Structure 1
Amino acid sequence: MLLESVVIERYRNFTEPQTMTVEPAVTCLIGKNESGKTTILKALHRLNPANIPDDFDVTKDYPRRFLAQDRRKENLDEVIPVNAIFRLDEDDAQAIEDVLGVTPPESTRVEAWRTYGGDFGIGIGCAFREALEAACNEAGVDHDDDLAEVGQYTSIREASAAATTLAKSLKESGKTARGKAVGKIANELKKYTALVTGEFDDDLRDVLDARLPKFFYFSTYETLEGEYDLTELADRAANRKLLREDSTILALLELASGVGPQDFLDEDYDSRKAELQAASHDLSRQVFRYWKQNDALTVRFDTDMPIVEKDAQGHEIRHRILKIELEDERHGVHTNFSTRSAGFQWFFSFLAAFSAYQGAEKRVVVLLDEPGTSLHGEAQKDFLRYIFGELGTTQQVLYTTHSQHMIDPTRYETMRAVHDRATRENPELGVAITPVSLSADPHTILPVEAALGYSVAQHLFLGSGPHLAVEGSSDFIFLTRMSEHLTAKQRTGLDVNLSIIPVGGIGNMPAFVALMGRRLQVRALVDGERTTSVADKVYQAAKARDIDDNRIVVLGKLDGLPTTADIEDLFTTKDYLWLYSRAVHSLQEEDLPDTPEPILRRIGIARQRAGMNPKFDHVGPAHHLTRNSAEFFAQADPETLDRFEKVFRLVNVS
């Protein structure tokens, strides 16, 4: 199963229900400290934990401001702070079909929840309409009148009764074949009862419980230490009093030899140590695929049996101590693991802790709380590559961050902004979870802006080019999304070697060409109401840097576009209004003045006529294209695609 969405409510600073959609691979939660990012991960972990969990505690976790008054009105142990929705994969569908005898419809979803009192619940459901269509198909009903007659009902009981009545009527009128087919509907529909009503037996519950993903949570608390008292660890394990920080060393011991700490206390501990050593080499190789800061490190293990105390009779009491050491081949020294950089400790510890689930057949949702905060910026980027390039390809990952280096701005649609809306004036407001919008709260999305700025800097000073200068972020998004679509259709998109650089306003374009054109391959896309004056300056700057005029593309010079055309004018009026109406407010083509002016100018006039500010955030429609690209391209005009393709051919010129 794949986690599709989660609802958090009445938990810590979540005072109202907040629904967060989850990406199939990687979801990034960004926000300020104390905004509620960790709260989301903690709630999910407690839903169905893979490693050592915390429990919900009404006194500690229920929103403090409402605790006393709500406790008087209801039993808070029955409140559900976390509720998750899961989508079935092919194996899940097959397992359910083996129990019910029918394939679950596409709309089938599994729901799981946990209460403050610790009670766990699970359910399943699908749209009745899909179940009815499937039952009719299985029964062999294909006559439109029959389908329409039965299809007007909304419950199994009503539809079955209607089908029985209709079957009798058809047979009496001599339409025996149709009547026989309709008569089968009730029996076929009965097979979907569990999916439609949510009432199911233990056999199906066992399947759902077994296939529901578990949640693996990791934070700095689970980082390995330099030494472990295996005697005490074995005692905690035996008495089921394990600590959160015990989980990583237990996973490492399990990876090494499939044993626990107590197995190192017998006479065979030397062979156990050898197995642990072998496991450490495997982990080290994994680490150094992504750890580029120092690849001359090797993790080694040793044991000792020091005297820890004496009993009443004076007998020595010894404990088995496991020591984790690092060999630095560059300097030829051995040091304790705990003395090395916090970044390396965290990286190695995470791989060790997750080793128990690496390659597991059952899905595990990985929850990373502020991963890599102790890593250097470049090392954070290495770990980000690991998340998207390896970890996220096999398991779903949710991670929190406020670091610009742990954000890939090209994947901003996978980010969720988490911000606490409470103020001194209105303290009852809680956390809100929204998609990332570059026009949203600047404090929340600061890491995204910083990551985008860092990406621009990398392109400017490290990239070899060519570089295409555009005005702003909406240009970047429109060009990127349209190029992706055209390329997928085997048409001309942007040259894969071309880097798009938003220069922060059309007025910055001449300076960018003049300064960066000295050592970079620069091209420019000029648009907007200042096209004439800016284009002249850009051409002058290009000439001073021996940049050919054909590297400067002015949208206003394209056939069929206004002389001061914006990037938005590459869309037909119908297509741009499709985006604008869904992202800003509804506007029809007949509401616009019938003039040859750019679309943004015409929308501004229409807004002014309606008593609105003529200006609006141009990035909103661009974001909507990203979030709803499939729906947009399904209705897009061929002329829109042709215009963008023409621009791509011009800017791709060698």
Structure 2
Amino acid sequence: MRLVEARVQNYRSIIDTGWFSVEENKLILVGPNEAGKTAILQALQQLSSPEGVKELDELRDYPRSRYNDISTNKVQSSNITVVEGKFKIEETDNVDLPEGFGDCLYVLEKRMDNKLYHRLENSPPKVVYADISKDLKRLADHVDKPVDNELVEETTSFENKLSEITEDWVGTTIINETRAMLLDEWLELAFKRIDESNVTEEERFDRLKATVNSYKIEKQLLKVLGELVPTFVYFNNYARVKPLIHLEHLAQRIESNILDDFYYDYGNICLLKLLGFEARYLSDLGKAAANNLDGESWKKYRDQLDKRQYQLNAASVKLTTEINRVWMPDENRAEASRLRIIADGQYLKVVVEDEMGVEIELDQRSEGYQWLVSFFIIFFAEAEGKYKNAILLLDEPGLNLHALKQAEFRKTISRLGEANQTIYTTHSPFMVGANELDIVRVVEMVSREEGTKVHTTVTASDSNAILPLQEALGYDLAQQRNLVFEGLTDYWYIEAISEMLRNDNVVSLNDKIALIPAGTASKVIFYATILKSHNLKVAALFDSDPEGEQAAKQDNLIVLLKNTNIFQVKDFYQGSAKKVEVEDLLRDTLVVVAKEELGWDVMDIASSQPARPIADVFSSQIQDFSKYKLAKGFLRWARNNNAGALTGVEQEQWKAFIEKVNKALR
């Protein structure tokens, strides 16, 4: 299952984050220190934590400013929801969903008393008393009729028994398991008095029986899904792998269950797990060399040594490959290092071999390099175990890495996210790609009274909260060629379409062109002026609405960029609509995407009103329409489709746009 939405309440600095969506592979939580990012990750882990993680403690975890509510029994721990998660059932879960449950979400909730509750969302509606009351009364009337002239006494009549069961029920009373069992017992007794020749009452009984017991379908499904919940694994202060491990000492500590230093031993135990050996085995193997061995014993000993060497070498190669992807991404650079794991008697050593073949211990390398080595050893060691069906929660990963290596490590996290859904926090602009703003959630705490909030759009009232995003874009601006346009959603469309067309060899946007959302049409001029003042090449794109038209025709912009570098959406649009925006270059596809991804059906209106901008069609038909939601829906769709999924006209429009931009900024 995959987490699609989450909400944290009543936890430390958090009063209520509100529901926030979680991306399919990777989600980035951005915000300043003390905003509550760590608290969000720690609370999420409580949904399904690995063995050994501390449970919730009302004294430590309930918001301190409200603790008096608990101490005075104003609220009870059993009624305090701390964290909720909504999970989507995927094909790989191999769950045979009953009819009507195809679109359901599994919702898991944990309360302050550490009790877990689950339910289904988007499942068939619950059976209520109004759904079955008439049939129940008619069946009661039928079975109370005399049989063979034998009158039913009033005290034992089925109508009276039914009245006793449903005495305090109203039409909206849900037929839960307890009520269903009472009705089922009543039905079983009533069945014996049904005239078997009466087809109508036989069918009524069957219908009531199935409806009353329908709760069992959901109950069984909840049980199955409860066993599929991923484990939430939280990394905060990554344990370090030490460069020299004394095997006998470690084996004794493990066997005695006395681990002197958790972080020291945990990292080293993970290293052994990655290698596929136990400390005791390697220690005994190191001692065997001192013994006098006969021929057969010597051969067995040599085989064990060879096996050890092969496994050490395989692990060394795997780690070296992954580390150099981040540390030295250019594989042809001579200074790329090689990590080596060496067994020497009672010692297991981790050394780094440089380009000259010189070996130095791991702890003599930089803090960033040590952190990276330890991260990969621990992750690879656990990946096939408790992390196999896991959601990774990374708190400020790569903090010790240089800025440019953080950018490379970001790609590593993307690879991790393909196998394990990953959520990480950061306040570093280098851990947020300029093309990843759609998978960012901004975390801020305006005041202690309001607590931590998670914004579902890239916005915040505190400018410090979105500083990493601004800096991430600013870092991306350091290009010789820049295309400036109005909105963030325009950025997502341009980026996604460019990638689709490039992958299908239709046309390729020059990868040296930086895409820069200015925010509004008026700010495009401001951005263009600054960039031109630094002698950078600049082109501007405006919507063809009144604001965009006015901005595109300003004399100072024309003097600055010349007409050849000022574009409007209408320059590429081939339809009949007026006042078009970037969305209109994807008009037909967005209508399909909106229905598939968001459940917004405007197909009939859009086809009957071709002269109307598509954003206007959506806003008139969809309550609380959001361009942001539409663009995000398109991004999800684009990741699973190629350029051939676009209409021919759309491909032509975007091809013309990209070719014009490439020419203007060549």
Shorter-chain TM-score bucket reads 0.5 to 0.7
Deviates more, 1:269-278 or 1:65-74: 269-278
Is 1:30 aligned to residue 56 of structure 2?
no
TM superposition shift of 1:42: 1.8
In structure 1, which of residues 323, 326, 331 is the aligned counterpart of residue 349 of structure 2?
323
Contact 2:501/2:507 (<8 A) preserved: no
Partner of 2:272: 253
TM superposition shift of 1:372: 0.7
Deviates more, 1:276-285 or 1:343-352: 276-285
TM superposition shift of 1:334: 2.2
TM superposition shift of 1:63: 1.9
TM superposition shift of 1:412: 1.8
Give CA-to-partner distance per residue, 1:464-518, whole Å, 9 cap, x none. xxx5443554653565578789999x9x9985447463374243477579678x8
Measured in 1, the distance between the counterparts of 2:527 and 2:570 equals: 16
Partner of 2:45: 45
Measured in 1, the distance between the counterparts of 2:285 and 2:506 equals: 67
The residue type equivalent to 1:247 in the other structure is: Y
The residue type equivalent to 2:242 in the other structure is: E
TM superposition shift of 1:64: 2.0
Partner of 1:298: 338
Contact 2:433/2:472 (<8 A) preserved: yes
In structure 1, which of residues 398, 406, 410 is the aligned counterpart of residue 431 of structure 2?
406
Measured in 2, the distance between the counterparts of 1:232 and 1:438 equals: 53
The residue type equivalent to 2:424 in the other structure is: Y
5 Å-filtered alignment, 1:217-616, equals 217-231=234-248, 233-238=250-255, 240=257, 242=259, 243-244=262-263, 246-259=265-278, 261-268=279-286, 271=305, 274=309, 275-292=311-328, 296-302=336-342, 322-328=348-354, 330-358=355-383, 362-388=388-414, 390-422=415-447, 427-438=448-459, 440-458=461-479, 460=480, 468-471=483-486, 473=488, 475-477=490-492, 479=494, 496-497=509-510, 499=513, 501-502=515-516, 504=518, 505-508=523-526, 511=529, 528=548, 530-531=550-551, 533-534=553-554, 538=558, 541-542=561-562, 549=564, 552-554=566-568
TM superposition shift of 1:237: 3.6
Measured in 1, the distance between the counterparts of 2:65 and 2:107 equals: 29
Measured in 2, the distance between the counterparts of 1:632 and 1:92 equals: 22
TM superposition shift of 1:69: 4.1
- The secondary structure found in structure 2 opposite 1:371 is coil
Measured in 2, the distance between the counterparts of 1:413 and 1:531 equals: 27
Contact 1:83/1:112 (<8 A) preserved: yes
Measured in 1, the distance between the counterparts of 2:568 and 2:517 equals: 16
Structure 1: tracts of 5 or more residues without a match: 133-150, 306-319, 462-466, 544-548, 580-595, 601-619, 634-640
Give CA-to-partner distance per residue, 1:297-354, whole Å, 9 cap, x none. 222345678xxxxxxxxxxxxxx554322222x2443222122122222222122111
TM superposition shift of 1:369: 1.1
- The secondary structure found in structure 2 opposite 1:398 is strand
- The secondary structure found in structure 1 opposite 2:349 is strand
Is 1:193 aligned to residue 215 of structure 2?
yes
TM superposition shift of 1:263: 3.5
Give CA-to-partner distance per residue, 1:516-537, whole Å, 9 cap, x none. 8x88595755863544653675
Measured in 1, the distance between the counterparts of 2:550 and 2:174 equals: 59
Q: 1:358 to 1:508 in 2, by over 3 A?
A: same
Partner of 2:101: 105
The residue type equivalent to 1:283 in the other structure is: L
Q: 1:88 to 1:483 in 2, by over 3 A?
A: same
The residue type equivalent to 1:286 in the other structure is: E
5 Å-filtered alignment, 1:201-216, equals 205=223, 207-208=224-225, 210-216=227-233
Contact 2:108/2:116 (<8 A) preserved: yes
- The secondary structure found in structure 1 opposite 2:13 is coil
TM superposition shift of 1:44: 2.6
The residue type equivalent to 1:353 in the other structure is: I
TM superposition shift of 1:240: 4.7
Q: 1:241 to 1:7 in 2, by over 3 A?
A: farther
Q: 1:365 to 1:520 in 2, by over 3 A?
A: same
Measured in 1, the distance between the counterparts of 2:452 and 2:356 equals: 50
Measured in 2, the distance between the counterparts of 1:368 and 1:70 equals: 32
Contact 2:7/2:20 (<8 A) preserved: yes
Measured in 1, the distance between the counterparts of 2:118 and 2:487 equals: 47
Give CA-to-partner distance per residue, 1:611-652, whole Å, 9 cap, x none. xxxxxxxxx95424324559999xxxxxxx999878645534
The residue type equivalent to 2:567 in the other structure is: V
Partner of 2:116: 121
Contact 1:10/1:17 (<8 A) preserved: no
Partner of 1:616: none
TM superposition shift of 1:445: 1.1
State the TM-score, normalized to the length of structure 1.
Answer: 0.66
Measured in 2, the distance between the counterparts of 1:411 and 1:224 equals: 32
Partner of 1:82: 83
- The secondary structure found in structure 2 opposite 1:221 is coil
The residue type equivalent to 2:266 in the other structure is: S
Partner of 1:607: none
Measured in 2, the distance between the counterparts of 1:60 and 1:345 equals: 33
Contact 2:27/2:422 (<8 A) preserved: yes
Measured in 2, the distance between the counterparts of 1:379 and 1:116 equals: 40
Contact 2:88/2:105 (<8 A) preserved: yes
Q: How many residues align?
A: 540
Q: 1:35 to 1:279 in 2, by over 3 A?
A: same
- The secondary structure found in structure 1 opposite 2:242 is coil
Measured in 1, the distance between the counterparts of 2:541 and 2:110 equals: 55
Contact 2:316/2:339 (<8 A) preserved: yes
TM superposition shift of 1:370: 0.7
Partner of 1:67: 67
Measured in 2, the distance between the counterparts of 1:128 and 1:537 equals: 55
Deviates more, 1:369-378 or 1:519-528: 519-528
Contact 2:238/2:375 (<8 A) preserved: no
Partner of 1:21: 21
Measured in 1, the distance between the counterparts of 2:650 and 2:556 equals: 23
Give CA-to-partner distance per residue, 1:21-67, whole Å, 9 cap, x none. 32221111111112111112222334433475344343333322222
TM superposition shift of 1:127: 4.7
Measured in 2, the distance between the counterparts of 1:21 and 1:373 equals: 25
Contact 1:218/1:350 (<8 A) preserved: no
TM superposition shift of 1:542: 4.0
The residue type equivalent to 2:456 in the other structure is: P
Measured in 1, the distance between the counterparts of 2:580 and 2:84 equals: 48
Q: Which has the larger radius of gyration?
A: 2
The residue type equivalent to 1:651 in the other structure is: F
Measured in 2, the distance between the counterparts of 1:631 and 1:511 equals: 34
Partner of 2:143: none
